[in-house]
Structure 1
Amino acid sequence: MSISARLRSVIDDRGMSIKEASEVVGIPYRTLQNYLLGEREPNAKAMAAIRTHLGISLDWLLTGEGNMAVDVSAASSETRTVNQQEEAILELFRSLGEAGKREIQSAAEEKKRIRDIEQRLEDLTEALEATRRPA
């Protein structure tokens, strides 16, 4: 079984659509679709997102060996760390005045917009390279 087949089985087991999985994992729809079709394999960043958001063992995803789910104790430790970091950021955010909050929100929205553009550029570059490859 390939990475694409294992990833497909995870999404199917969870009763998710590709769109829902894309949103949960934070991977563009077309990119996830390419992974599922076997046209591309996930890069390290995508695999980390899949592991984090779907709770999948990377060993299993890559090789099909071992348990499909990540070690619960390791995952809950990771979640606690993220939650502590999020709580600290939220506390700092709440301590700001309205102007500071708007500035932080604007910066975060701009960062997300840039990240989305970079991902789209990566997807388009890969699509262009695929069209240049001999059949």
Structure 2
Amino acid sequence: MSINGFAAVLARMKLVTQSTTDSGLSAALGVSPQTVSSWKGRDSIPYAICVDLANKHGISLDWLLVGEGPRFRAHTHQAVSHNADPDWETQLLAEMRLLSPQDQRAIALAIQEKQRLRELEQQLEEVSSLLSQLQNPAS
């Protein structure tokens, strides 16, 4: 596993366990901080630990190990909504922090564009309503 790959897997493991430090991750996984340190030295995490973590949290091994595909397994993941998951914003922010600065900027620009489109749609509805009123004056 490359250094970037290993670091990314470690970051996803921290995200899943809601850990911000290596010692927090070690506590969440039930291993010693020295064990996590040795994983870093070897640039390797035991596969069994990854499988256990994925099973415990209902996440996809593809997502955990290579960062591809959906985070949650299809049968365990429900769409995130305000009612289904009160911590959805916290999870979203945590996932955003894992992205590169370029990806974060791209998402921010996409949000701004979506807001502009909503404003334009609202203006279009107002213009359409006015046009309709002009074409069909009230009796």
TM-score range (shorter-chain normalised) is 0.3 to 0.5
- Judging by fraction of residues, say which structure has more helix: 1
Tell which has more relative contact order, 1 or 2 (C-alpha 8 A, sep 6+): 1
TM-score (norm 2): 0.39
Over alpha carbons, which structure has the higher Rg? 2
